[in-house]
């Protein structure tokens, strides 16, 4: 091809005569017969261009490669998707595997089709290897492609479904990897998008490929059900149909057969035998209207008694993927439970096709409960989460929480319905309402009763979050939240708070260092500061200040470089060494992430203290009488003069060495005295012990030096105590 030749010229193929069209294309077009004649012509044109682009390429089975993308389009045609999606499906491998370009596809079929093909092309590079960074990063890309156009994931799911149907040509290792990836990622996505037909087939094919022997055994057992069971099924069906007909309720009654995968997972999860799992009859009743569904529910409850606490109304409260149905369990005539689902035709379509139903069933499917809008909301929430997540692995971990939901449905004070994962807490609910509500939450009211944020929620509860502007997230919150959004938001906010504290402390440290050189940050020319930032690759001044606080840059050295340049501009040059500032930096102890208290001496407010600048840790605070301070004198440039601020508050760790008479009740007496002094005990350990004396170390929390002295006084007064010493 010469440079002047258009990129698409080699694929400008003439139309193919009807007689020459292969059978596999005719089958796909038959499935797409709901399209108009011009749309079918566009799909045919896509095949001719795709066939020319893939000419000479074959699959592992030896078939021409073009048979695969045409089969993918056929899967989507069965779901009655629009013509653009079918065209994109036929061309989905061309950008990746052929010289056909995005520009060429756009010129021929428009930008929408080109965007769909481009989105799927990126997805085709995905190879999920559970818990590996590459897989997680790929999942991020897939999510972003889904957020732009949901049809991208529909094409990818159809592509995966056809690959699973033709998995036999792969080697055993590849089959197992692809099957595991299908069960772990693609089937749950299909379920989350409400596409139950595709989900069920993906699960069945994945199960067959991963555990062929188990699948064969279960399939055979299902096929050879006892005659008694088959007769019972027919009898129950006849009874239900007769009662519904008497009430003049037009309906479709379908008996449901369990799949090998659903039986297998239930046997494993509930530790049941095959007979126990199969000893449940299932029926679906499809009716005309919602009112008919509730009417029919009364009829089936009158036919067979319902089992208590087994009724679920997913019409009033739809599932997160838009699924709507009434579920009830009846006590059957043969002593076995009878599971019944009641729904309208539209609900049945959405239950089977999920978001794919949006393109073929426009009537009433645009509301807030539609699978389409719920899928968009889910993906929008994930996009928001991925922007705030630090690592791809953390993001994938959060998404998996949402992909395997065992949901609880909760009400806001205004009556809005929120769905959260099982074991969700009041704090998860707060973050589900809004990130700011979560960040400022202090407590909750559940059904009018005041409860702490860690309270687990149950289905149907009404939750109100109490907030305070002064409140902020605490690291302990990460121990009990379960939703991905809550975890990500808390981590992000904690990092933000730590960064702000680091910037403030770094600013004070640099100011002190510059004051020792008779200058200040304000007097250093802005261009010099900018040049220093560029030289050391800092995006802004805050990043440098945070790095100083974290011990990664010495404030004295930064100050020297900045002031030296400033002095040079004034005709002066400064000589080494740098004098240290005698002014103390005052701390409150609440500076998160940049100040730590040394475990060797455990300083508390009121102690004389010094700070040691440690790379990566920031300021490590020691008592001046700490035995380790002598070693730190060897690095005076890392010393930081610090003191306690007047506004110090909170609890600080301290340790006491207590000698007691080793007799029953001695330990309890000491613990009671410490509690009486309003101090918490973190830990108690024996340092020495013999028949007469026991030496214990008490790790406690105190407010300041006076509080500690009060604790020591109360302990000393005890008759069993022979000595108290602060460690």
**Residues 346, 549: Cα–Cα separation, whole Å:** 61
Q: What integer pLDDT is reported at residue 588 of this predicted model? A: 81
In this prediction, residue 136 carries a pLDDT of 56
Structure confidence by residue, pLDDT tens digits, 582-597: 568 888 877 766 788 8
When pLDDT is cut at 50, 70 and 90, the band that residue 572 belongs to is very low
> In which band, very low, low, confident or very high, does the pLDDT at 634 lie, cut at 50, 70 and 90?
confident
Please answer whether residues 135 and 128 qualify as being in contact, where contact means their C-beta atoms are separated by less than 8 angstroms.
yes
Closest residue by Cα to residue 286 from 340, 363, 365: 340
514-537: per-residue pLDDT in tens? 877 878 788 888 888 888 888 888
**Of the candidate ranges 226-235, 318-327, 552-561, the one whose mean pLDDT is the lowest:** 226-235
**Alpha carbon distance 485, 421 (integer Å):** 11
Structure confidence at residue 517 (pLDDT): 80
Q: What's 571's DSSP letter?
A: T
- Beta strands 281-287 and 407-411 are unpaired
Q: Who has greater pLDDT, 49 or 96?
A: 49
Structure confidence at residue 357 (pLDDT): 66
Q: Is the pLDDT of residue 5 over 50?
A: no
pLDDT in tens, 281-318: 789 999 999 999 999 999 999 998 888 777 888 888 88
Write the CA distances from 498 to 104, 504, 649, integer angstroms.
51, 10, 18
d(CA 150, CA 105): 20
**Secondary structure of residue 449 in the 3-state scheme:** strand
Four-CA torsion 45, 48, 52, 54, nearest 10 degrees: 100
Predicted pLDDT at 128:
46
Reply yes or no on whether the pLDDT at 612 is more than 90.
no
Mean pLDDT of 29-47: 90
Strands 595-597 and 618-623: parallel
DSSP bridge pairs for 327: 312, 341
- Span of 156-160, 181-185, 585-589, 635-639 with lowest mean pLDDT: 635-639
Sheet holding 441-446, edge to edge: 449-451, 441-446, 463-467
pTM of the model: 0.55
Give the residue from 77, 7, 91, 319 showing the smallest Cα distance to 193.
Answer: 319
d(CA 584, CA 85): 68
Convert the pLDDT of each residue in 416-446 to its tens digit. Answer: 777 787 788 999 999 988 888 998 898 899 9
Can you tell me the distance from the alpha carbon of 427 to that of 8, in angstroms, rounded to the nearest whole number? 56
Q: Answer yes or no: is pLDDT of 7 > 80.
A: no
Across the range 110-116, mean pLDDT stands at 87
Report whether pLDDT(449) > 60: yes
Per-residue pLDDT, 388: 56
376-385, 502-511, 629-638, 661-670: which has the minimum mean pLDDT? 376-385
Tens digits of residue pLDDT in 396-413: 555 555 554 556 778 888
- What pLDDT score does 570 carry? 44
pLDDT of 347 over the 70 cut: yes
**Cβ count near 214 (within 10 Å):** 15
Q: How many degrees, rounded to 5, is the angle at CA 679 between CA 673 and CA 680?
A: 105
Residue 129: predicted pLDDT:
47
pLDDT of residue 341: 92
Quote the CA–CA distance of 351 and 113 in Å, as a whole number. 27
DSSP string, 512-543: HHHHTTT--TTTS-HHHHHHHHHHTT-SSHHH
Q: What is the pLDDT of residue 654?
A: 93
Average pLDDT, the chain: 80
Check if the beta carbon of residue 517 is closer than 8 Å to that of residue 578. yes
Q: How far apart are CA 503 and CA 541, in angstroms?
A: 9
Are 583 and 640 in contact, with CB atoms under 8 Å apart? no
pLDDT in tens, 216-248: 988 888 777 666 677 778 888 888 999 999 999
- What DSSP designation does 573 have? -
Considering only residues 228 and 179, tell me which one the structure prediction assigns the higher pLDDT: 179
19 pLDDT band, cuts 50/70/90, is confident
Active centre residues (catalytic): 96-97
Residue 319: per-residue pLDDT: 77
pLDDT at 142 over 80: no
Structure tokens given for 146: 């889904």
């Amino acid at each position: 091809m010469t440079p002047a030749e258009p990129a698409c010229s080699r694929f400008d193929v003439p139309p193919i005569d009807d007689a020459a069209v292969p059978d596999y294309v005719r089958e796909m077009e038959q499935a797409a017969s709901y399209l108009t004649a011009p749309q079918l012509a566009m799909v045919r044109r896509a095949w001719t261009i795709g066939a020319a682009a893939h000419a000479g390429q074959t699959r592992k089975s030896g078939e021409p490669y073009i048979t695969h993308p045409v089969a993918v389009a056929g899967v989507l045609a069965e779901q009655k998707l629009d013509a653009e999606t079918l065209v994109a499906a036929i061309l989905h491998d061309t950008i990746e595997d052929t010289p056909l370009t995005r520009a060429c596809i756009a010129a021929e079929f428009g930008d929408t089709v080109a965007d769909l093909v481009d989105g799927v092309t990126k997805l085709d590079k995905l190879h999920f290897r559970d818990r590996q960074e590459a897989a997680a990063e790929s999942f991020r890309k897939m999510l972003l492609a889904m957020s732009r156009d949901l049809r991208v994931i529909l094409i990818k799911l159809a592509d995966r479904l056809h690959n699973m149907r033709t998995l036999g040509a792969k080697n055993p290792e590849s089959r197992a990897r692809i099957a595991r990836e299908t069960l772990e990622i693609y089937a749950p996505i299909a379920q989350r998008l409400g596409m139950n037909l595709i989900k069920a087939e993906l699960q069945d094919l994945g199960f067959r490929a991963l555990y062929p022997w188990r699948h064969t055994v279960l399939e055979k057992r299902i096929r050879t059900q006892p005659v008694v069971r088959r007769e019972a099924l027919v009898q129950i069906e006849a009874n239900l149909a007769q009662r519904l007909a008497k009430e003049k309720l037009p309906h479709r009654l379908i008996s449901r057969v369990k799949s090998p995968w659903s039986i297998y997972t239930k046997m494993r999860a509930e530790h049941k035998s095959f007979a126990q799992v199969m000893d449940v009859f299932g029926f679906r009743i499809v009716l005309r209207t919602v009112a008919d569904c509730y009417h029919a529910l009364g009829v089936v409850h009158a036919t067979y008694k319902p089992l208590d606490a087994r009724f679920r109304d997913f019409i009033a409260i739809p599932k997160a993927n838009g699924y709507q149905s009434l579920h009830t369990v009846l006590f059957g005539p043969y002593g076995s439970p009878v599971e019944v689902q009641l729904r309208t035709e539209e609900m049945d379509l959405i239950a089977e096709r999920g978001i794919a139903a949006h393109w073929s069933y426009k009537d009433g499917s645009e509301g807030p409960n539609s699978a389409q809008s719920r899928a968009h909301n889910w993906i929008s929430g994930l996009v928001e989460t991925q922007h705030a997540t630090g690592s791809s692995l953390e993001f994938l971990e959060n998404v998996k929480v949402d992909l395997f939901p065992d949901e609880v449905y909760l009400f806001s004070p205004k009556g809005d319905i929120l769905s959260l994962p099982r074991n969700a807490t009041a704090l998860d609910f707060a973050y589900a309402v809004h990130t700011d509500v979560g960040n400022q939450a202090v407590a909750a009211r559940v059904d009018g009763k005041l409860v702490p944020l860690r309270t687990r929620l149950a289905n149907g509860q009404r939750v109100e979050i109490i907030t305070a502007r002064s409140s902020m997230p605490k690291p302990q919150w990460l121990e009990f939240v379960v939703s991905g959004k809550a975890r990500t938001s808390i981590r992000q906010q904690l990092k933000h708070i730590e960064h702000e504290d680091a910037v403030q402390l770094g600013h004070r440290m640099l100011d002190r260092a510059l004051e020792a050189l008779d200058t200040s940050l304000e007097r250093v020319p802005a261009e010099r500061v900018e040049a220093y930032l560029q030289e050391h690759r800092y995006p802004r001044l805050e990043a440098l200040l945070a790095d100083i606080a974290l011990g990664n840059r010495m404030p004295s050295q930064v100050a020297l470089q900045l002031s030296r340049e400033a002095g040079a501009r004034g005709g002066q040059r400064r000589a080494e060494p740098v004098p240290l500032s005698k002014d103390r930096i005052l701390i409150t102890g609440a500076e998160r992430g940049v100040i730590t208290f040394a475990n060797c001496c455990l300083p508390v407010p009121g102690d004389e203290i010094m700070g040691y600048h440690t790379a990566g840790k920031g300021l490590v605070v020691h008592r001046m009488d700490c035995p380790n301070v002598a070693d730190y004198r060897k690095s005076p440039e890392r010393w930081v003069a610090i003191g306690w601020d007047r506004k110090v508050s909170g609890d600080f760790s301290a340790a006491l060495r207590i000698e007691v008479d080793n007799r029953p009740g001695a330990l309890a007496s000491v613990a009671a005295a410490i509690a009486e002094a309003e101090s918490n005990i973190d830990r108690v350990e024996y340092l020495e012990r013999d028949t007469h004396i026991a030496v214990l170390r008490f790790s406690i929390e105190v407010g300041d030096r006076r509080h500690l002295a009060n604790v020591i006084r109360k302990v000393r007064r005890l008759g069993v105590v022979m000595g108290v010493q602060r460690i």
